[in-house]
Amino acid sequence: SLAITYSHLGRHQDALKLKTKVLEFRKRVLPPDHPDIAISMGNLASTFSHLGRHHDALGLKTDVLAFRKRVLPPDHPHIATSMSN
């Protein structure tokens, strides 16, 4: 995706703008418990980390874990992924 390419080029501010828009879009058009929302939240958290905004990243990663625990079965592997990332 374009946002990932921006990140690879070190253009993290540009990636942040796009990933924020994607998350807002998905929250607007998808059901509130759709797993793609958690993916977008995790992607945005990674960009916060690249920008040195570790507190923002931690808050969002905590939200991703809570989201996944709420909408996925308790033994779903994405829950473990959220705990380890």
CA atoms within 13 A on the CB side of 81: 10
pTM for the full predicted model? 0.91
- What confidence tens digit (pLDDT) does each residue in 13-43 have? 999 999 999 999 999 999 999 999 999 999 9
**Which of the four pLDDT bands, split at 50, 70 and 90, describes residue 85?**
confident
Q: Are 49 and 27 in contact (CB under 8 A)?
A: no
Which of these, 66, 62, 60, lies nearest to 43 by C-alpha position? Answer: 60
Q: In the block, which residue shows the tokens 């374009």?
A: 2
* 40-59 pLDDT tens trace: 999 999 999 999 999 999 99
